[in-house]
Amino acid sequence: MSTEAYNEYQLVVGLEIHIQLSTESKLFTAESTAYGQPPNTNVSVITLAHPGIMPKLNKKAVEYAIRMGLACGCEISRYCIFDRKNYFYPDSPKGFQTTQDRTPICIGGEVPVNLKDGEEVNVKLNRIHLEEDAGKSIHDEHSDESLIDLNRAGVPLIELVTEPVIHSAEEAMAFMTEIRRMVRYLEICDGNMEQGSLRCDANISVRKKSETELGKKVEVKNMNSIRNVGRAIKHEFKRQVDLIENGEPIASETRLFDAGSGSTFSMRTKEELNDYRYFPEPDLSPFEVSEDWLNDIKTQMPPTPRELRERFVNEYGLSEYDAEVLTAEKEIAVFFEQACGQTPHYKQVANWIMGPIKSLLNELEGGEITMPISSNQLAELVEAIANNGINSSMAGKQVFPYLINNPDKTVVDAINELKTDISGEDNISDIILEVLEAFPEKVKAYQNGKKNLIGMFMGEVMKKTKGAADPQKTNELLRDALTQKE
C-alpha cells in the first residue's frame, strides 16, 4: 500500500501501565515481594484463598500511589473502596482480582513529555488505581502442561490509564520513558521492564484524519521494553489500516506482541466492562485519606525529574539539553548536585559527567549505576583545572584514571604523584631537546618564518609527557630553545 494511503489515517493510542510498587510486603498480606525467590515460597493462606481469610490493606502501598498521583497532578480521592473484578485468572486461586473500579485513588491529571524534535505534549490521564497482581504461568518448561508460580500473586500494583490522546509511536515511547523516570525518582518502583515491575498494554485504533469518532480498539500486551512498545504500535497501525483499506473488519480483541517478528497475533476476543461484574469487596473496609496524611506525603515527596530539570536550568545555568541528559537517571542527577555543592563551575561539572564519566558508565554492564569517582574528587578535579593547577589533557588522560584506581586519594595526591618526574624545568627542557632533535627540518622551517609550527612541537612535547607538562611554561621554554638552536 502506498505511503499516501497511510497518511490519510490518524493513530489513536491509550496506554495502561502497570507499576509494581516497591513495598516489602504484598498489598493485603505480610508476604515478601522479593524478586527471584524459589517458586511458591512467598505465599500464605490469603494468597492461596483459603476459606475464612481476611485481607488487610498495606498503608505504604497507598502512600506510594498517592505520591504518583501528586507527581502527575491528579486529584486524590479522599474516600476509597476496593472492588472485585470477576475474571478467570488461571494463576490466581481466588478467581477474581481485588482492584478499584468506582473510586480510584487518583483521578485525572497529566504528564508533560518532551519529544525529540523539541515539542512538548501533555498526555492526559484518566486515572491511577490500586490493585493486586496475579501469579505467573509458565508454559515453556513442559510441552504438555503449564506451571504456576504464585510468588507474584498479591504484589501491589498501581495501574496508570491515559486518555486516548497519543498519536504516534514516538510519543508513546517518550511517555513511557518519562513514567519510568518518574517512578524511579519517586522511589516507588525500580522501573525494570525485563523483570515485569513495569508493564505496558496499548489500546490502539485508527481513523481517517477527517473523522472524530474513535475506531475499533485493539489491546496489545506482552511488550517488555520501551522500544517494543513503539514497534508494536507501528505494526498495529499498519495492520489496521491495511484491513480497512481491504474492506475487512477490525476485531475487538487482545493481541500479543512477538518481539522476534515485530508483529502481533490474536490471543482472545476483548471482554466488555460489564463482563467483569464488578462489585464492592466485602472483606475490606473503605479507607479515607485525611488532609493531615496527604500533607505529610506532600512534604516528604522527592523532586520529580521535571522539577530537577527546571532547577538545573534556572539555578545552575545549564541548557535544556544538558538538564535532560543529567536527569535521565536519578543517580547521575544526585551526583551532579553533590559535586556542584563544592564548586561554582557547574558547566564544567556537567561536561565531565556527560563526557568521560558517562562514557565509562556506558561501557559497564548491569543496571545498577556506580559512579567511577566520588563527587568530592570530581569537584576537586574541576577546581584544579580552573585554577591552572593542571591542564585539561592531564586531567583526562592521567588524573581521572588515577582517581578511578585510587578511590581514597585526592586530586592533590594524584597531581603530586603524577607530576613528580616531569614538573621540573630541567626535565622539560630535556624532553624539548629530544623533540627538536627528532625534527631538524621542522626546526629550520620554524626559524625561517613558519611560526605556526610551534603547535606541532607543543603537541610532541605533550605526548612525551602524557599531558603532564605545564602548557604555559612549556611554551616559553620551547620558544627559547627554538630561538637558541643553531
Ordered structural domains, the chain, with CATH:
3-293 (no CATH), 303-416 (no CATH), 425-484 (1.10.10.410)
Cell 496499548 locates to: 202
Q: How confident is the model at residue 474 (pLDDT cuts 50, 70, 90)?
A: confident
Q: Residue 157's pLDDT is what?
A: 97
Please name the amino acid found at residue 429.
S
Q: Residue 205's pLDDT is what?
A: 96
Q: Residue 305's pLDDT is what?
A: 94
Which H or E element spans position 165?
none
Each residue of 226-258: pLDDT tens digit? Answer: 999 999 999 999 999 999 999 999 999 999 999
Cα separation, 191 vs 324, whole angstroms: 18
Each residue of 180-191: pLDDT tens digit? Answer: 999 999 999 999
Top-confidence residue, 433 or 171: 171
Give the helix ranges, DSSP H, for 133-278.
169-185, 226-245
- DSSP secondary structure, 420-454, as one string: TTT-SHHHHHHHHHHHHHH-HHHHHHHHTT-GGGH
Q: State yes or no: pLDDT of 152 exceeds 70.
A: yes
Q: Residue 272's pLDDT is what?
A: 60
Q: Percent of the chain scored above 70 by pLDDT?
A: 94
Cα separation, 344 vs 350, whole angstroms: 12
Average pLDDT on 334-340 reads: 96
Q: Residue 477's pLDDT is what?
A: 82
- Which of 181, 198, 176 minimizes the C-alpha distance to 71? 181
Contact (CB, 8 A) for 298 and 64:
no
Cα separation, 462 vs 477, whole angstroms: 13
Q: Residue 369's pLDDT is what?
A: 81
**pTM for this one?**
0.82
Top-confidence residue, 415 or 368: 415
Q: Residue 446's pLDDT is what?
A: 83
Q: Residue 92's pLDDT is what?
A: 85
Q: State yes or no: pLDDT of 423 exceeds 80.
A: no
Q: State yes or no: pLDDT of 46 exceeds 70.
A: yes
Cα separation, 219 vs 267, whole angstroms: 10
Please name the amino acid found at residue 311.
R
Cell 482492584 locates to: 99
Q: Residue 485's pLDDT is what?
A: 61
Q: State yes or no: pLDDT of 367 exceeds 70.
A: no
Average pLDDT on 56-78 reads: 97
Question: Per DSSP, which regions of 232-347 are E strands?
Answer: 253-258, 263-269, 279-280, 287-288
Q: State yes or no: pLDDT of 420 exceeds 50.
A: no
Arithmetic mean of pLDDT over the chain: 89
Q: State yes or no: pLDDT of 421 exceeds 50.
A: no
Most confident range (mean pLDDT) of 138-147, 209-218, 472-481 is: 209-218
Each residue of 109-119: pLDDT tens digit? Answer: 999 998 888 78
For residue 467, give the 3-state DSSP assignment.
Answer: coil
Top-confidence residue, 483 or 296: 296
Average pLDDT on 367-382 reads: 89
Contact (CB, 8 A) for 164 and 13:
yes
